Amino acid sequence: MKRDLVSIRDLNKNEFMEIIKDGIRLKEERKKGIRETLLRGKVLAMIFEKPSLRTRVTFQTGIYELGGIGIYLAPLDIQIGKRESIEDVARNLSRWVGGIMARTYLHSTVVSLAENASVPVINGLSDLEHPCQILADFQTIYEKKDYIEGIKLAFIGDGNNVCHSLMLASGLLGVNMRVAHPEGYGPKEEIIRSTEKLASSSGGSITLTFDPKEAVDGVDVIYTDVRASMGQKDEAEKRRKVFAPYQVNEELTNYAESDYIFMHCLPACRGEEVTTNVIDGSHSVIYDEAENRLHSQKALMLKLMK
């Protein structure tokens, strides 16, 4: 039976950890010049409605290193849902390729692709979730801290797609997560409910607060993201003012554990959500995170497309 990764909720705890550990193995093998070509002859169709650096390069490099090839479908190539219905795109691609990765504006687009494709569909980013980023994030946390269950993680900023997937993964893996956000900019209720349900089984927890210092107090990981994502640029000036008290700076990080790590999914607006001193400081692991997109996604493609 074909499997998709549309949401973090498509994985159980064991599967999530298997992908992380397989990503670490593939990373070590790559350093030694060892290549697994288990996806030889496989083609990954990569649908992009949004521009991308990390998602495009890591998926295209990853499928190549596994023996397959990636086909980049730019926003104007297929105009999914406009020139041709999502359903027809999914059914056509299923006849030609071994998997579909989609970086879209609407989460419903990825859901519809998965419902109508007979090959695995991977959510490369949607307005609701960013599961591939979070696989790389937790691979990074595991590498740096040597454990995940019981980790204390603070997300500071907008309750956006990255925050949603971090919450769901934290609930799944037994992480104690705190989210500090301005009033009116919190995560969606359905994500909160799903996280609470997952956390009740894993021993994790989710705490929402308007106070960034309360969120960061004693944590092992501080995570932030841009304040205005694509599609919200018209709100940028308003958000800049609302989110000003939520900047991750040296004063705020002093409340965390002395060996905390700083994370950001990138791209970053330096001087806005995070200061240059923090993002370039000794606690920052942002480039390890970015690198791990390649390795964790290779592990994911092996799991879904073999």
Question: What average pLDDT does range 215-235 have in this prediction?
Answer: 87
Spot the catalytic one: 9, 103, 164, 295.
103
Inform me whether the pLDDT recorded for 248 exceeds 70. yes
Q: Which residue has the higher pLDDT, 228 or 256?
A: 256
**Does residue 104 lie within any of the structural domains?**
yes
Question: What average pLDDT does range 81-108 have in this prediction?
Answer: 96
Retrieve residue 115's tokens: 């419902």
β-sheet bridge partners, residue 45: 71, 100
**Could you confirm whether 265 is annotated as catalytic?**
yes
**Could you confirm whether 132 is annotated as catalytic?**
no
**Could you confirm whether 56 is annotated as catalytic?**
no
Interacting residues of 92 by C-beta distance below 8 A, sequence separation 6+: none
Task: Quote the domain boundaries for residue 151.
Answer: 133-289
Residue with tokens 């990390």: 54
Residues 124 and 272 in one domain: no
Inform me whether the pLDDT recorded for 233 exceeds 70. no
Spot the catalytic one: 225, 239, 264, 283.
225
Interacting residues of 210 by C-beta distance below 8 A, sequence separation 6+: 180, 181, 182, 183
Per the structure, the count of domains in the chain is: 2
CATH number at residue 270: 3.40.50.1370
Cα 184 off chain centre by: 23
pTM of the model: 0.97
**Does residue 2 lie within any of the structural domains?**
no
Three-state DSSP string of 76-119:
HHHCECCCECHHHHHHHHHCCCCEEEEECCCHHHHHHHHHHCCC
Residues 157 and 55 in one domain: no
Residues 236 and 250 in one domain: yes
Spot the catalytic one: 178, 293, 295, 297.
293
Question: What average pLDDT does range 97-104 have in this prediction?
Answer: 98
Q: Closest by alpha carbon to 59, among 118, 1, 119, 123?
A: 123
**Does residue 32 lie within any of the structural domains?**
yes
- Per residue in 255-289, pLDDT tens? 999 999 999 999 999 999 999 999 999 999 999 99
Inform me whether the pLDDT recorded for 232 exceeds 70. no
**Does residue 1 lie within any of the structural domains?**
no
**Does residue 140 lie within any of the structural domains?**
yes
Question: What average pLDDT does range 110-128 have in this prediction?
Answer: 98
Residues 60 and 200 in one domain: no
Q: E strands along the chain, which residues? A: 43-48, 69-73, 99-103, 121-125, 152-156, 176-180, 205-209, 221-224, 261-264
**Does residue 3 lie within any of the structural domains?**
no
Residues 185 and 265 in one domain: yes
β-sheet bridge partners, residue 73: 47
**Could you confirm whether 54 is annotated as catalytic?**
no
- Per residue in 170-207, pLDDT tens? 999 999 999 999 999 999 999 999 999 999 999 999 99
Inform me whether the pLDDT recorded for 237 exceeds 90. no
Enumerate the H helices of 117-160 as residue ranges.
Answer: 131-145
Residues 102 and 156 in one domain: no
Q: Closest by alpha carbon to 304, among 33, 68, 35?
A: 68
β-sheet bridge partners, residue 207: 178
Contact 134, 148 (CB under 8 A): no
**Does residue 152 lie within any of the structural domains?**
yes
The CA angle 203-208-213, to the nearest 5 degrees, is 105
Inform me whether the pLDDT recorded for 230 exceeds 60. no
**Does residue 12 lie within any of the structural domains?**
yes
Cα separation, 175 vs 6, whole angstroms = 21
Residues 232 and 301 in one domain: no
**Could you confirm whether 107 is annotated as catalytic?**
no
Question: What average pLDDT does range 79-105 have in this prediction?
Answer: 95
Residues 164 and 227 in one domain: yes
Residues 138 and 271 in one domain: yes
